[in-house]
DNA sequence: GGAAATGGGACTGGTTTGGTCCTATTTAAG
DNA sequence: CTTAAATAGGACCAAACCAGTCCCATTTCC
């Protein structure tokens, strides 16, 4: 279905929430509570985002996570790549050869590259802030907390 | 990995091969042999393509398939949609509501739409012919047959 | 030293997908 | 009129993939 992993979706939610107070240090449990997402999942998401350098993790008691750059500067591709791997339609990844067993049989080898770059370009222009949009309004936040 | 189904890949291969003789009626077994792909798989691919209206299937002995329009006019999106379903990143499909259990909890609901349209636009501009490219050259065809 | 947090994996249940096969239906040829 | 060859449409099963959970090591503040 050309779908990206659900974790990517969660990541955007979490990042949007972090963007409300970009400078503050926020803990995984805290973010879990405020987003309404299960705590272990949020923890996993943040760990991955930290590895990707999208957020910065500080250890120890009173530790937490912080955006490593403002929300509008975080490109959607960064998040997608972190969870779904390199953006490449089809199993034969990019120029990597040797993996495909029937390499010499495959007449379209490498031909997907223009498609991939087209998609990459399209996603490159979108920032996480654009996906967050009005979802950050306090009104919705209250609504969501009340629903618990 | 943001990958599309392998059948989509096969479909492009088969279509490229059909494009060589766009007017001729070609049988599934014949195409299987000429592409080097397993026959049942090719059959399945062609059935799906026929349902999508990309190819036209004629029944009976001496039946077969034929492109319903020239290769350059077949948009890549048509093929992708046929196998992978509507192009929509994320599980929450488009505007369809009611499916997501925590709908009222999800702060990014619907916000993926701009992303989806961006991708759709990018793919809309690419035809199957562009993916086929030079793969149709007789030289490669011979090479492939020789490898069997 | 203890509590609270991140960091990094390991493991597992459920879902999805590929690939195969079987059975109807259609149509040309003998 | 019978037979063969092809499409049409599903059913089915094994394998791969993913999400979600949990566990343990490490770090840091009180």
Flag whether B94 is in a domain: yes
Which of B90 and A132 is assigned the larger pLDDT?
A132
Alpha helices in B21-75 (DSSP H): 28-35, 39-52
> Which tokens go with B99?
């499916």
| Distances, alpha carbon B14 to alpha carbons A48, B34, B64, B107, in Å | 39, 9, 13, 42
pLDDT class of B97 with cuts at 50, 70, 90: very low
Flag whether B1 is in a domain: no
Average per-residue pLDDT for chain B: 81
> Which tokens go with A58?
């500080």
What is the residue range of B129's domain? 6-139
- 3-class state of residue A55 by DSSP: strand
> Which tokens go with B119?
């991708």
Residue A122: closest C-alpha in chain B? B118
Residues (81-100, chain B) with CB within 7 Å of strand C atoms? 83-84
Flag whether B49 is in a domain: yes
**Euclidean distance between CA atoms B11 and A25, whole angstroms:** 50
Flag whether B148 is in a domain: no
When pLDDT is averaged across residues A124-143 and rounded to a whole number, the result is: 66
Flag whether A89 is in a domain: yes
Do B114 and A130 count as a contact with CB atoms less than 8 A apart? yes
Which of A86 and B110 is assigned the larger pLDDT?
A86
- Please say if the pLDDT value at position A91 is more than 90: no
pLDDT class of B3 with cuts at 50, 70, 90: confident
| Distances, alpha carbon A30 to alpha carbons A75, B5, B14, in Å | 24, 38, 52
When pLDDT is averaged across residues A106-130 and rounded to a whole number, the result is: 81
pLDDT class of B1 with cuts at 50, 70, 90: low
Burial call A52-76: b when 16+ CB within 10 Å, e when fewer = eebbebeeeeeebbebeeebeebbb
CB of B54 nearer than 7 A to strand D? no
- Please say if the pLDDT value at position A116 is more than 90: no
Which of B33 and B146 is assigned the larger pLDDT?
B33
pTM check: above 0.85: no
Is residue B68 a contact partner of residue B23, using CB atoms and an 8 Å limit?
A: no
**Euclidean distance between CA atoms A101 and B30, whole angstroms:** 23
- Please say if the pLDDT value at position B148 is more than 50: no
CATH classification of the domain holding A122: 1.10.10.10
| Residue A121 in contact with partner chain B when CB distance is under 8 A | yes
The number of folded domains in chain B is 1
Average per-residue pLDDT for chain A: 81
- What is the per-residue pLDDT across A92-113, written as a single tens digit (0 to 9) for each? 544 444 444 444 445 445 578 8
């Amino acid at each position: 279905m050309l779908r990206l992993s659900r974790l990517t979706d969660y990541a955007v939610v979490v990042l949007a929430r972090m963007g409300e107070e970009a400078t503050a240090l926020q803990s995984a449990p805290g973010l879990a509570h405020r987003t309404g997402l299960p705590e272990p999942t949020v923890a996993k998401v943040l760990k991955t985002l930290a590895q990707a350098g999208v957020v910065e993790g500080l250890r120890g008691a009173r530790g937490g996570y912080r955006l490593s750059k403002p929300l509008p500067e975080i490109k959607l591709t960064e998040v997608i790549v972190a969870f779904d791997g390199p953006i490449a339609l089809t199993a034969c990844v990019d120029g990597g050869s040797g993996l495909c067993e029937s390499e010499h049989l495959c007449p379209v080898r490498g031909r997907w590259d223009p498609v991939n770059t087209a998609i990459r370009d399209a996603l490159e222009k979108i920032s996480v802030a654009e996906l967050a949009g009005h979802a950050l309004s306090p009104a919705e936040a209250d609504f969501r907390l009340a629903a618990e």
